[in-house]
Amino acid sequence: METYPPIINTIIEQLKKLPGIGTKSAERIVEFFLKMDENDLVSFADNLKKLKQNVKLCKNCFSISQNDLCYVCSDAMREKKIAVVEEYKDVIAMEKAGFRGRYHVLGGRINPLEKIGVDNLTIKDLLERLDREKPDEVIIATNPTPEGETTAQYLIEILKAQKYSVSRIATGIPVGAEIEYTDSETLRISLENRRKT
């Protein structure tokens, strides 16, 4: 038995396609939309449409942008360091952490199980860019997952062979965590990545 008018059922089904949204959450969102001021709702819908029309990939680093070059690539005051990350969300996280260099977004990571290889990522573009820009340092900032580590190792080998100064972000025990509750793999990596003080 249909409990909602067809338009509401349609919107609920569309909302359920969003990550983390189930039926109950979708129903609450529709209820919120129904209570919204009409001008606010129209503005929200217009912005969703503009999102798809106006947001694209930066031609230099492959992060998201509303222009051909993102705000980072347009900033001449950035340090001559390039952090290589998997996704644009990683750029946002590193910006919040205070990194003042530039970025290169791979668009994923090497993952043979999902048929993602070197040619599916922006690695060729990275190498061409490094040749043009000649950065002081290339920081490999892929995630510490098996696929992220595979991608990092591949990049480190080819970049070192081309005589670039390459570093890898450190991994280990998070700030505020206690050693006794840390899993053995994280603790092992922390010990391997220890630094002299």
Give residue-wise pLDDT tens across range 51-90. Answer: 989 999 999 999 999 999 999 999 999 999 999 999 999 9
Buried b (16+ CB within 10 A) or exposed e, 122-137: bbebbeebbeeeebee
Ordered by start, the domain boundaries in the chain are 6-54, 70-192
CATH of 70-192, one of 3.65.10.10, 3.40.50.12160, 3.40.1360.10, 3.30.70.260: 3.40.1360.10
Q: What is the pLDDT of residue 79?
A: 97
> CA-to-CA distance for 189 and 167, rounded, in angstroms?
16
Q: What is the distance in angstroms between the CA of the first residue and the CA of the last residue of the chain?
A: 69
- Rounded percentage of the chain residues whose pLDDT exceeds 70: 98
Q: Are strands 56-57 and 64-65 parallel, antiparallel or unpaired?
A: antiparallel
pLDDT above 60 for 1: no
pLDDT above 90 for 148: yes
Q: Is 197 helix (H, G, I), strand (E, B) or coil?
A: coil
Q: What is the pLDDT of residue 184?
A: 85
pLDDT above 70 for 2: no
Q: What is the pLDDT of residue 143?
A: 92
How high does pLDDT run on average in the chain? Answer: 93
CATH number of 6-54: 1.10.8.420
Element (H, E) at 93: helix 88-96
- Rounded percentage of the chain residues whose pLDDT exceeds 90: 82
Q: What is the pLDDT of residue 197?
A: 61
Q: How many CB atoms lie within 10 A of CB 6?
A: 8
